[in-house]
Structure 1
Amino acid sequence: MLVLPDREAAEEAVEALRERFAVDEEPQVVRDALAGEDDAEDAQWLVVLRDEDGRLDAAALDEFAGEWDGWREEP
């Protein structure tokens, strides 16, 4: 799962994931409001991707998420 600062970054990341990592399954973009926050400005956006075969390199995904001021988290 990649955590990104806004929806635009998340949508751009999904497009780039397809190109750079050739992911088989479409990653999902999910809004994750911070606890206690009602303002959409305070939301993080998650890009949820499956890698059941372990093909994706964790370090490469860390670097990739950093391009959008985000980070990778393990589920």
Structure 2
Amino acid sequence: MIENNDRQLLVLPDRDAAEEVAEELNARWPALGDVEVLRDALAGEDDAEDAQWLVVVEAPEDGGWTARLLAALDQLVTEQDGWREQD
């Protein structure tokens, strides 16, 4: 079952990939609204190179998450060597 109010976290290896995914999301699915790009340093890591980048995507207001939309998110993030997590 898909929770319509959960946000999705797209985890990416670097800032460029995260920003590219965010731009693509805004272009393809304007109903998602603003997406947020955040740096997520790994716990206990001192090296900034070990940081992952997150694209935070809120559920669309017009119907929430669908299996088709989640599959599209998975494909988009996989193309950038990342993955999707549900928050």
Q: Point out where structure 1 has 5 or more consecutive residues left out of the alignment.
A: none
Query: What TM-score does the superposition give when structure 1 sets the normalisation length?
Result: 0.89
Q: Choose which of 6, 12, 15 in structure 2 pairs with 1:7.
A: 15
Q: Choose which of 35, 42, 50 in structure 1 pairs with 2:43.
A: 35
For 1:52 and 1:37, the matched residues in 2 are separated by: 34
Q: Give the % identical residues.
A: 57
Output the aligned Cα RMSD: 1.5
The structure having more radius of gyration, on CA atoms, is 2
Q: Work out whether 1:61 is the aligned partner of 2:58.
A: no
**Count of residue pairs the alignment pairs up:** 75
Provide runs of 4+ in structure 1 moved above 4 Å. none
Q: Compute the displacement of 1:23 (Å).
A: 3.6
Q: Does the CA contact (< 8 Å) of 1:17 and 1:23 recur in 2?
A: no
Q: Compute the displacement of 1:21 (Å).
A: 2.1
Q: Point out where structure 2 has 5 or more consecutive residues left out of the alignment.
A: 1-8
